[in-house]
Structure 1
């Protein structure tokens, strides 16, 4: 695809449903204000920070990061989609991020993650400055690792907690959001949908990638759970990425930050993450456009 816009960027904190905590939200969007190199935490990226959004009618995408992770590890995906006419909100899940991981391995986390996504969607359409330039009642979800769980849960999946999360594991009753029109799963974590019928209510296009050398969420069982649990398998496009690892879907780390002690900065020997992302990002954008 060809870049048509400059990538605007802003960060805000929105109220959670309980109002007891804030949801940090990184927003990438089309603008006609030229970009310049900006510092985002430990990273740098060409962006038009706090620029006025360009008038238009754009699809909304919500991104969910993995357990104990952060949204800016996918910053170049946000930049790419904004340049190509999408508005994407990348939220940081309270209690399951790199700074505060207090909800890991809890039922509360299984409930709050899809609720966070729904809160962000509601904010965009109800109170944000972007609501007038969004395609109404349509949203796509992208999730990496545990973010894949979040996307499937909000789209109608019925998760069952793992034994370490609940001694008496029963399926959770979560709200399905009918506004979700497509899902992209990147090395998804899906074992909470292992029970028969857990994904049977999902009937929307799904683009799913797994990494051949992924030791965290390997194809078996994670991708198989999706492929066997979705009734209409024609809705699934599946890609298996040769020689890739679990973190190969993330933006490339600056050389000065790469370290064997920092797994997200590492790939299997011989794997070129930048070359892969140069192919992946256009595939994601093409799928999202077809799913509108």
Structure 2
């Protein structure tokens, strides 16, 4: 009788998952963040509703806006963007994950977006943004019943890579930043801080960790040097680490290579001939006019993203299933 009940339950689960036709739904929401401003979140998820083109900032995507969620027991993936970005920065990776059966929640980090750089130097606050997003997605979002809260992963690029490393247990020494920038004032992170003219916080916020995150993909992480020598000692979840071979924004060996040395068991992937912003989707004509530096590439970015997104999906399927 117990075997029959177990088989019936499994059949019901498979039937629910099979009902999904491979399409992707999308919506933009706000998630409460305690006393702080609510966090803006973009959500991609499996649906069987028809898709249609829609604008996403200076880009566009083909999704089913506001459609019902199809299936059940979907893993949840969080996405953390780079400095000065937004929740839509990795929409193609988010859609690839949703097409593979994941629910994806990408957060815009308050004070470190394209239209608000007021907290860029308060980078240690960023990991703490992931916890309220997890809370919202697993308890309040209209599709929360379709999420398997035991299977949560996180993807981060650049400053988002730091964010995810912090959330899974990493600790940084921000006092190393001053010496780093004295030695490398032309590096992107140091030059950006100089342009902002923002004073560093007198007492940086402690990095917040969330044990609910069970796997992480980190691409071209910022602040790698500040994790040494033991800042990643408490990271125990599986990590897929990507480095752009010709990263001119966060050049080696100060960032991804430091993380690689501290996480020798990570699945390490090199993107041949790629530069830093090649981890962002291929640019629309509009975005290329607005941000040409982000869009210039020495590789076929569209072809690279087919491989990159497939590898991200494979890793999360392997580690969360």
Q: Compared with structure 1, are the counterparts of its residues 44 and 174 closer, same or farther at alpha carbon in structure 2 (3 Å cutoff)? A: closer
2:153 paired residue number = 140
Q: Does residue 90 in structure 1 map to residue 106 in structure 2? A: yes
CA contact 1:137–1:179 (8 Å) conserved in 2: yes
1:110 paired residue number = 124
Whole-Å separation in 1 of the counterparts to 2:291 and 2:133: 33
Listed as ranges, the gaps of 5+ residues in structure 2 are: 1-19, 182-198
2:3 paired residue number = none
2:67 to 25, 41, 51: 51
CA contact 2:82–2:159 (8 Å) conserved in 1: yes
Q: Compared with structure 1, are the counterparts of its residues 4 and 249 closer, same or farther at alpha carbon in structure 2 (3 Å cutoff)? A: farther
1:238 paired residue number = 268
Deviation at 1:285, TM superposition (A): 0.3
1:178 to 211, 228, 232: 211
CA contact 1:259–1:266 (8 Å) conserved in 2: no
**Structure with bigger gyration radius:** 2
Whole-Å separation in 2 of the counterparts to 1:133 and 1:98: 32
Q: Is the partner of 2:129 in helix, strand or coil?
A: helix
Deviation at 1:83, TM superposition (A): 1.2
Query: Which stretch of structure 1 is more off in the superposition, 141-150 or 4-13?
Result: 4-13
Q: Compared with structure 1, are the counterparts of its residues 87 and 15 closer, same or farther at alpha carbon in structure 2 (3 Å cutoff)? A: same
CA contact 1:157–1:193 (8 Å) conserved in 2: no
Whole-Å separation in 2 of the counterparts to 1:52 and 1:26: 15
CA contact 1:260–1:266 (8 Å) conserved in 2: no
Q: Does residue 16 in structure 1 map to residue 33 in structure 2? A: yes
CA contact 1:63–1:89 (8 Å) conserved in 2: yes
Q: Does residue 154 in structure 1 map to residue 171 in structure 2? A: no
Q: Compared with structure 1, are the counterparts of its residues 192 and 119 closer, same or farther at alpha carbon in structure 2 (3 Å cutoff)? A: farther
TM-score by length of 2: 0.82
CA contact 2:241–2:260 (8 Å) conserved in 1: no
CA contact 2:48–2:70 (8 Å) conserved in 1: yes
TM-score by length of 1: 0.89
Whole-Å separation in 2 of the counterparts to 1:87 and 1:13: 16
CA contact 2:278–2:301 (8 Å) conserved in 1: yes
Whole-Å separation in 1 of the counterparts to 2:37 and 2:202: 28
Q: Does residue 33 in structure 1 map to residue 49 in structure 2? A: yes
Deviation at 1:168, TM superposition (A): 7.9
Displacement over 4 Å in runs of 4+: 164-170
1:265 paired residue number = 295
Give the helix-richer structure, 1 or 2.
2
2:303 paired residue number = 275
2:140 paired residue number = 127
Q: Compared with structure 1, are the counterparts of its residues 173 and 110 closer, same or farther at alpha carbon in structure 2 (3 Å cutoff)? A: closer
Deviation at 1:61, TM superposition (A): 0.3
Q: Does residue 195 in structure 1 map to residue 228 in structure 2? A: yes
Deviation at 1:194, TM superposition (A): 3.2
Deviation at 1:219, TM superposition (A): 3.5
Whole-Å separation in 2 of the counterparts to 1:57 and 1:167: 41
Q: Is the partner of 1:258 in helix, strand or coil?
A: helix
Deviation at 1:36, TM superposition (A): 1.0
1:218 paired residue number = 251
Q: Compared with structure 1, are the counterparts of its residues 166 and 229 closer, same or farther at alpha carbon in structure 2 (3 Å cutoff)? A: farther
Which structure 2 residues correspond to residues 58-97 of structure 1 after superposition, within 5 A? 58-97=74-113
CA contact 1:155–1:178 (8 Å) conserved in 2: yes
Whole-Å separation in 1 of the counterparts to 2:240 and 2:224: 18
Q: Is the partner of 1:203 in helix, strand or coil?
A: coil
Q: Compared with structure 1, are the counterparts of its residues 16 and 212 closer, same or farther at alpha carbon in structure 2 (3 Å cutoff)? A: same
Whole-Å separation in 1 of the counterparts to 2:92 and 2:297: 17
